Structures are given as structure tokens and as C-alpha cells.
Structure 1
Amino acid sequence: MSYFIQLLTYFRIIAGPIIFVLILISQKYGVALFILLLASASDYWDGFLARKYSLTSVLGAVLDPIADKILITFTVIALSLNLGSIYVAFLGSMILAREYWVSALRDLNAREGNTQATKVTFLAKTKTLIQLVTLCLFLLGLFLGHALTIFVANFFLFLAFIITMQTGLSYTIATFKK
């Protein structure tokens, strides 16, 4: 079972570059959406199964957020380039900057024995869900050629941006609180 759980995480790592190619080179939005949906589901299932069967590991704890960042980074960059939207590029860049900033904070806190400061919160899990829903909406809009879906995705992107910045600020304050 632990092998299967690790495969789910590795799938997300591989899915990011595949989605990037499907969006930018092949313009196979339906296939990219399908892979993103599978990868999004794997984000839930690997953690659920690891906890249910007491198979959590240090490797899993390290790889899971890396897999999320790879998936989201490749997809955000591909969508920003494909859509040619300054709005998507700016908010996407800010979201990615926060993701990497929080990774740096987690690294710092791990070295200083302050892991509670950047412990994953319910709001942070919600943030990841909203980010993934947003990316799926953009791909659905591209697949269907539907401007209204892209409009809704833009709204969700703003919501994801607000929650992402709020959780980043919370982690920053908790890290540097003396």
C-alpha cells in the first residue's frame, strides 16, 4: 500500500510537465483537464490513505508539498502563457511567489525546531483546493471555448489569490513572532 501512496505523489510530479506540454504545445485542453483532475484527486487520496493505514513517512511529508508546487507551477505558467492575460500572469506569479516563500519558511522552521509555525492549516488545505478548482475551470473554459467559464475562473483566481496571501501572511507572522 505504501508503494501505491508514493505512486500517487509521483504522479503529481510527472503530471505538471505533461500538462504544461499539453496546454502550450499540443493545445489538448481536454486531456490536460483530465490529467489535472486525476492529479488533484491524487492529492487528496495519498494523504487520506497514508493516514488511514498509518503509512505516513518523512519522505511523503517532504514530497507531497513539492508535488503540489510542481503541479501548480507548471499549470499556472502554461495557462498564463496560453491565455496571454496580464491578470492571470500577475495573480499566478503572486500565488507562486507565496508558495515558494512558505516553502522557505518551512525549511527555516524545520532547522530551528519551530515546525508548528508552518503546520498545514485547514485554510491552507482549502487554498490548495481552490487553486486546483481554478486551474480546472481555466482548462474547462479553453476546452469548451467558453468565455463565461474563463470569466468564472478569473473570479476563482482572485479568491485563490486572497486566501493564498492570507495564509502566507499567517505563516510569516507565526514564523517571526518572538
Structure 2
Amino acid sequence: MWTIPNIITMFRVLLIPVFVFVYFLDWRWAHQAGAFIFWLAAITDWIDGYLARKLEQSTPFGAFLDPVADKLIVAAALLMVTHTYASVWITVPAIALLMREIYVSALREWMGQQGSASTVKVSFIGKSKTMMQMLALIGLLSGLEVFMGFPIYWVTIGTILLYFSAVLSVWSMVVYTKAAWKQLSKVKS
């Protein structure tokens, strides 16, 4: 259980309260520091997966904890940006992303119980959604539009990427549902 990838995943889970605490500090750069911690967590997601494959240290515990850690930190970040911006333009795609995460997690769990987990394994669309979502959240969490006098428009770019990730999110949810539909539509006798 205590493999290097699992320790990194546990580190990501432990970063969540630190991330939230730092983000809400009464400090000039608190949002940027929170965005950095979120970025660090996003990078550790890639690192633990890479190391699990490279070191051949994949475990059932890691397979369980990794997606849970991802969903926990993303849910926290989505709640934080909806609180920070208090705008329907951020809240609607954030809710779509949260709904998709819960739906697909439940679908994967159910399909696993049916012995058909491979039917709804992570796809390219799902990975693309995750990448756009992470970038969107980093931009929105940072709150930066100007840095050292130079326009960088991270909030604007983050908002646009949030919408792209919401569209990919709904699209991937439809793809996963179609893949599972044969199993979902079976009639029990």
C-alpha cells in the first residue's frame, strides 16, 4: 500500500485543506498562492500515474484513491471559484462539471459491479476535459488579469476554458452513457 505513487496521491489529498486555507487567507497574494497549490496537486496527479506505470507499482488502493483525490480537489476548487466570482457565468459550468463527476463516478462504480468496468474506462475526451478543467481552475483561482504591468488575462482564459471543459464534460458523459447503455437498459427477470 505504501508505494511511492500512493504516497504522492495521499499528499494530494492532504493538500486540499492547505489549498482551501491558503486561498481564503487575508493576504494580498492568497488567491495566487492557492492557485499554485492547486497547480502542484494537478502536477502530482500526472506524476503518481507516471510512476505507478514506470515503477510497476499500481495497486488496488491507488486505483481507488487517485480518482477520489482528483474529484475532491476539483470539487473544492469549483466551489471556491463559484464563491469568489458569485456569477451565473461561472456557476453554471461549475455545476455541469460537478454533476458530470458524480454521474460518471456512479456509472463507473455500477458498471464495475456488473463486471463491465472496462466499458467506461477513461477516454481521450475525458482526459481532454480534465486538462482543460485544471487549466481553467488555475486561471480562475489565481484571479490574475495583469501581472507586473503586463496583461495576461488568466481569468478571461480560465472562464473560456471552463466552458470548453463543461462542453467536453457533457460530451464525455454522453459517450460513457452510450457505451454503458446495453448494460443499463437490461431488463431484470
TM over 0.5: yes
Distance 2:2 2:102 in 1: 27
Residue 106 of structure 2, aligned match among 92, 104, 107 = 104
AA in 1 matched with 2:174: L
C-alpha contact (below 8 Å) 1:17/1:71 kept by paired residues: no
Distance in 2 (CA, whole Å) between partners of 1:34 and 1:154 is 18
Structure 1's 17 and 26: CA in aligned 2 closer, same or farther, altered over 3 A? farther
Judging changes above 3 Å, is the alpha-carbon distance between structure 1 residues 26 and 4 closer, same or farther for their aligned structure 2 residues? farther
Match of 2:92 in 1: 90
Which amino acid is the alignment partner of residue 141 of structure 2?
L
Greater Cα radius of gyration, structure 1 or 2: 2
CA distance in 2, matches of 1:99, 1:167: 10
Instruction: Return the offset for 1:121.
Output: 1.2
Across the aligned residues of Structure 1 and Structure 2, the Cα RMSD in angstroms comes to: 2.1
* Structure 2: unaligned runs, 5 residues or longer: 184-189
Aligned pairs for 1:20-99 within 5 A = 20-26=20-26, 28-99=30-101
Match of 1:134 in 2: 136
The 8 Å contact of residues 34 and 142 in structure 2, kept in 1 or not, is answered as no
Per-residue Cα deviation, 1:120-157 (whole angstroms, up to 9, x for no partner): 11221121111111111112334858793211111111
* AA partner of residue 179 (structure 2): A
The normalised TM-score by structure 2 is: 0.86
Deviation at 1:83, TM superposition (A): 1.2
| Structure 1 residues without counterparts, runs of 5 or longer | none
Identity of aligned residues (%): 28
Matched with 1:6 is 6
Where 1:177 maps in the other structure, the secondary structure is helix
